[in-house]
Every structure is written in C-alpha cells, then in structure tokens.
C-alpha cells in the first residue's frame, strides 16, 4: 500500500477509535434567542435552499473526508446514498491518491451512482502549489471529471501538514495559484480550511481572487493536530506527538471565522460552515451567523462506517432538529435565518 493510501486509512481508523475533537466546541458559545410567539406552524418550515445554482433539500453538505484506499469506497457510497435521500451536497476527500493511482478512482466516483445535487471535488493546496500551471489545470480537470463535480474545493491544510511526520509544508505561492485556478478552471473553485479556520485578513486576500465561496473549516470539531498526534504515537515519533499535542486546539473557532470572513467579503461570497457541527441546532446557529450551508464531517463518519441506513437515520435527525430550531425561532425559510437574533460572545 502506498504512503498516501496508508495515511488515508489511518486517518479514518484514528478518527473512529480515538477522541480527536478539539477540547472546546465553540458552537456551545452561540445561543439563538427563543421566539415564544413563532406565529408559524412547524409544517410551514421550508428547509430547501439554492446555492451555486443548485437546489438543495436542506442547507447541509457532507464535508469531504475520504477516498483513496479500498475501504473508503463503501464509506463514500453510504454517505452518497444519504446525500441523495435528502438532496444535500457532498464532498469527497483529497483526490490526490487517484491521480497517483488510477485504480483508486472508484473509491471516489462511486458517488456518481447517486443523484446528488451538489458534488464537491477536493485537492490540497500544498499539493497543487508544487505543480506548474499546465499540471494544475490538467489534474484539477481530471478530479472534477472523476466525480462530475459542480465545484472544486482547494483545501488549506497547513496545520495538518506541519504536524504530520511526512507533511508537505510548502505554502509559498498558494494565493497566486488559487487566483490563477479560480480564473482559468471552467468549474467554480472554493477555498476550504480543514479545522483551523479563515481569518478576516486571509478572507480579504481571498476576496481579490475569483473564487466562488469559502468553507471556513474552523476549529472546535475534528482536530487534525489530534489525528496526527495519534499517527505519530503509532510510530513512537515523539517530536510529532509533541507537535500534535501543542497545536491540538490551534485555529479560529468556526463561529468566529464565519463572522470574520463575512465582514471581510461584505457577505458577497457564500460561506460554508464546517467544523464542530454536531446536530441540527448547530446548523441553525451557523445559518444565523450568516453561513449559507453547514458542513458536517465527523458526526457522519461513525454512521457511514455502519451502513447506509445508519447514515440516513443520523441525517434525518439532524434535519429534523434544524426544522425544530426554525419553528422555535419563528422562521419558515432558510434565507430568513440570517435575521435571527443571536447571542455570541467569543471565548478563548
Ligand atoms: C477522517 C477525516 C478525513 C478528512 N480528509 C479531508 C480531506 O481529504 N480534505 C479536506 O478538505 N478535508 C478533510 N477533512 C476535514 C473535514 O472536511 C472537516 O473540515 C473537518 O473534519 C471538520 O469538520 P467536523 O468537525 O465536522 O469533523 C477530513 C476529516 C476527517 C474526519
């Protein structure tokens, strides 16, 4: 098994077996103000929304997690079946492995057997920055075609790379590469952090490119420093164990990142709120802060390992909770969620 495949496998195994969550979930700091006179019926709540020209059954996307090793096919298939059922978006994990080994394509393109309204291809910024322009465009077109993606996410994962024993820590030229790609790729490009969040300043820089949206991928949920801590532990690699521990809680909390990105971009770019979303109430909180969609990764991983029906059942609960929250807020349409009264005090 190649190194990339082995790493993908370990990421999933560790995320299932160990506690890889940040020590504080920042969604607990966000409170939505109860509306004792909702003046709507629960049945009036319409969860559908439109983003990137696609109609979704609920403002949720399954955040990219896997692909690139044999068992990932089943996980992606189970997630895809649930995405089809609820007509929500779905991303796959970094498709680098399939570029290196075409035999692994089926671990990603298995999702093409399902009718998913919004599919998101994925590649790490630390990989594309090392390629020349021709290779960047060829390879990104390949991974978009692989899953018939509607958009491409360029994943900023420098926290993971820096604490990872074999990490690729070249970030020089990243913004320029994103700018070029966002102008030249025929598919819309979004930028996605993967657990350390996007600040006001970074969002200001990104806003000058032609990207179509930002997934803030903030802190408070899965910590990749934690995942890499456990990988280093498996190898008795004390240096990287230490790094994983030290940077376990590094990053900008997801709720704060939504506000920073929104302000920096004058709310012109759609924001996806990934990082620490556990239930439908967290989804409602992210929408109230200004996100267009909430992204969920870890909360769907355990059900996805068990099977389609478990994944469908968990998402059904999350979606029902969102409906309950909207009823209690007196909100019947997703668009109106941004008008909800929010109490949020940022805590370190
Ligand atoms: C096992 C695992 C693998 C992941 N792989 C990727 C990846 O390849 N590309 C990416 O952009 N994000 C990846 N992520 C990050 C998620 O998309 C998400 O941003 C992060 O887990 C935070 O969401 P959560 O708190 O709901 O888990 C991965 C997450 C997990 C748990």
CATH number at residue 227: 3.20.20.70
pLDDT per position as a tens digit, 114-131: 999 999 999 999 999 999
For residue 289 the two structure tokens come to: 């802060």
- Distance in angstroms (rounded) separating the CA atoms of residues 283 and 56: 15
Residues 250 and 219: beta-carbon distance below 8 Å:
yes
Q: Which of 93, 120, 303 to mutate to test the pocket of ligand 1 (most atoms within 8 A of CB)?
A: 93
Give yes or no for residue 303 having a pLDDT over 70: yes
Give the mean pLDDT of 248-272: 98
Looking at ligand 1, which residue's alpha carbon is closest to its atom 28?
65
| 266 band by pLDDT with thresholds 50, 70 and 90 | very high
Domain containing residue 93: 3-344
Q: What is the mean pLDDT of the chain?
A: 96
Residues 183 and 210: beta-carbon distance below 8 Å:
yes
Give the mean pLDDT of 297-325: 98
pLDDT at residue 309 in the model:
98
pLDDT at residue 346 in the model:
64
Looking at ligand 1, which residue's alpha carbon is closest to its atom 19?
194
Give yes or no for residue 166 having a pLDDT over 60: yes
Give yes or no for residue 276 having a pLDDT over 70: yes
pLDDT per position as a tens digit, 38-59: 999 999 999 999 999 999 999 9
- Distance in angstroms (rounded) separating the CA atoms of residues 225 and 237: 14
Looking at ligand 1, which residue's alpha carbon is closest to its atom 15?
194
Distance (Å) from CA 296 to ligand 1 centroid = 9
The one-character DSSP state at 339 is G
pLDDT at residue 343 in the model:
96
Give yes or no for residue 152 having a pLDDT over 50: yes
- Distance in angstroms (rounded) separating the CA atoms of residues 157 and 61: 19
For residue 39 the two structure tokens come to: 């003046």
pLDDT at residue 185 in the model:
98
Q: Per the structure, how many domains does the chain have? A: 1
Residues with beta carbon inside 6 Å of ligand 1?
11-12, 15, 63-66, 93-94, 122, 153, 155, 192, 194-195, 217, 221-222, 274-277, 296-299, 301
Looking at ligand 1, which residue's alpha carbon is closest to its atom 6?
65
Rg (the chain; Cα; Å): 19
| 347 band by pLDDT with thresholds 50, 70 and 90 | low
Residues 165 and 240: beta-carbon distance below 8 Å:
yes
Give yes or no for residue 134 having a pLDDT over 70: yes
Residues 131 and 39: beta-carbon distance below 8 Å:
no
Q: Which of 297, 301, 314 to mutate to test the pocket of ligand 1 (most atoms within 8 A of CB)?
A: 297
DSSP-derived 3-state class of residue 157: coil
């Amino acid at each position: 098994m190649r190194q990339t495949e082995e790493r993908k496998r370990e990421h999933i195994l560790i995320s299932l077996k160990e506690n890889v969550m940040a020590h504080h979930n920042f969604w607990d700091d966000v409170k939505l103000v109860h509306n004792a006179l909702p003046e709507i019926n629960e049945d009036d709540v319409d969860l559908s929304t439109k983003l990137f020209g696609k109609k979704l059954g609920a403002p949720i996307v399954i955040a990219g997690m896997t692909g690139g090793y044999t068992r990932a096919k089943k996980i992606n298939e189970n997630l895809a079946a649930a995405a089809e059922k609820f007509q929500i978006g779905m991303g796959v994990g970094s498709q680098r492995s399939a570029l290196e080994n075409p035999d692994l394509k089926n671990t990603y393109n298995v999702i093409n057997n399902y009718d998913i309204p919004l599919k998101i291809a994925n590649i790490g910024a630390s990989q594309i920055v090392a390629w020349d322009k021709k290779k960047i465009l060829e390879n990104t077109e390949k991974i978009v075609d692989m899953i018939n993606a509607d958009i491409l996410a360029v994943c900023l994962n420098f926290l993971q790379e820096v604490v990872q024993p074999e990490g690729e820590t070249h970030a020089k030229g990243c913004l320029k590469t994103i700018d070029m790609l966002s102008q030249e790729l025929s598919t819309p490009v979004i930028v996605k952090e993967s657990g350390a969040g996007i600040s006001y300043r970074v969002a200001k820089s990104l806003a000058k490119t032609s990207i179509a949206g930002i997934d803030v991928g903030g802190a408070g949920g899965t910590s990749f420093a934690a995942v890499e801590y456990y990988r280093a532990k498996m190898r008795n690699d004390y240096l990287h164990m230490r790094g994983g521990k030290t940077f376990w809680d590094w990053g900008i909390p997801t709720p704060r990142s939504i506000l920073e990105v929104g302000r920096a971009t004058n709310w012109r770019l759609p924001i996806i709120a990934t990082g620490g979303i556990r239930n439908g109430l967290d989804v409602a909180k992210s929408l109230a802060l200004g996100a267009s969609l909430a992204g969920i990764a870890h909360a769907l991983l355990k059900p996805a390992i068990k099977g389609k029906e478990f994944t469908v059942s968990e998402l059904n609960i999350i979606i029902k909770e969102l409906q309950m929250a909207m009823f209690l807020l007196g909100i019947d349409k997703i668009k109106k969620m941004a008008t909800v009264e929010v109490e949020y005090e940022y805590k370190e």
